[in-house]
Amino acid sequence: MRALIFDFDGTILDTETPECLSWEKIYHQHDQILPRNLWLSAIGVGPQDAKFNPYTHLEELLGTSLDHEKLRALRRKIFYRALDNEPIRPGVTDWLEQARARELPIGLASSSPYDWVHGHLERLGLRSHFSAVYTSDHVERAKPHPELYEKTAAHFGVKPQECIAIEDSYNGVTAAKAAGCYCIATPNPMTVTMDLSAADRIVGSLAELSLEQLLS
């Protein structure tokens, strides 16, 4: 194994649980229920492949149009209040430090926009660990398409088969395996019910398995 490639949302930082809960509160305020199965289908997917849009879905349930800007501002207020309390997921920092000690290149492949990923990496003090950051802004097709992993591996001059991918969702695991990476799935509270069986290994968090243990 010659490189380590992380997903971001839900893998390094659990942004997915607060985001879902914020939408559930919005739906509740309109006396509606957010279908969890529809929400889960959109996790880890690039914008062009997402089939579920909570704005239009809520409007369909209500039978009327809504002020998207007003709704977005309210949801963001709820979301960021919860996100501010989210720590880096267990074991992530240890893996980054172990990879650096081994001089193993570390990349990031995310279906989210670059500004979102870069901003949070800076806020968390993690940006310096990543020598390559590829997001939905850098590819034609984000996950579950393998292009993000293929491009990140190519940046390091290695094959995807020589990379360890860390993912948390079905669509992320699908992308990593389609590229040919060795994939470890670390589901969060939102993705724990997903079918992650395509991953080579599933752990509750990276704290359960060190990089040293895996490589040895």
The answer to whether 176 touches 183, Cβ cutoff 8 Å, is yes
Please, are residues 185 and 196 in contact by the beta-carbon 8 Å criterion?
Answer: yes
Say whether both 110 and 197 belong to one domain: yes
The half-sphere exposure of 141 on its side-chain side, counting CA atoms within 13 A, is: 11
Q: Which residues are catalytic?
A: 7, 9
Q: Does the pLDDT at position 8 exceed 80?
A: yes
Calculated CA dihedral for residues 112, 9, 73, 119, nearest 10 degrees: -70
Other Cβ atoms within 10 Å of 1 Cβ, number: 15
Bridge partners of 188, per DSSP, are none
Which residues sit opposite 5 in a β-bridge?
107, 165
Hey, is 105 helix, strand or coil?
Answer: coil
| 158 and 203 share one domain | yes
What does the alpha-carbon distance between residue 181 and residue 47 come to, in Å, rounded to a whole number? Answer: 23
Residues 203 and 106 in one domain: yes
Statement to judge: residues 76 and 98 lie in one domain: no
- Does residue 216 have a pLDDT over 90? no
pLDDT 10s digits, 158-214 = 999 999 999 999 999 999 999 999 999 999 999 999 999 999 999 999 999 999 999
Shared domain for 7 and 72, answered yes or no, is no
Instruction: Write the CB contacts of 30 (distance below 8 Å, at least 6 apart in sequence).
Output: 58, 61, 62
Instruction: Say how many domains are in the chain.
Output: 2
In a shared domain, residues 95 and 133: yes
d(CA 186, CA 207): 10
Please indicate, yes or no, whether residues 42 and 94 belong to a single structural domain of this protein. no
CB distance 165 to 181 below 8 Å: yes
Q: Measuring CA to CA, which residue among 112, 101, 157 is closest to residue 132?
A: 157
Measured distance CA(154)–CA(36) in Å, rounded = 36
The helix-helix angle for 16-29 and 54-62 (nearest 10°) equals 20
| Average pLDDT of span 2-10 | 97
Three-state DSSP class for residue 192: coil
Pairing between β-strand 106-109 and β-strand 132-134 as defined by DSSP bridges:
parallel
Whether 26 and 40 map to the same domain: the answer is yes
**Does one domain contain both 79 and 124?**
no
pTM for the structure as a whole: 0.93
- Give the chain's length: 216
What is the mean pLDDT of the segment spanning 18-24? 95
Q: How do residues 49-104 score in pLDDT, each as one tens digit? A: 778 899 999 999 999 999 999 999 999 999 999 998 899 999 999 999 999 999 99
Residues 196, 144: one domain?
A: yes
Please name the amino acid found at residue 108. L
Q: Quick one: how far is CA 30 from the chain centroid?
A: 28
Q: Can you give the residue range of the structural domain that contains 194?
A: 3-14+88-215
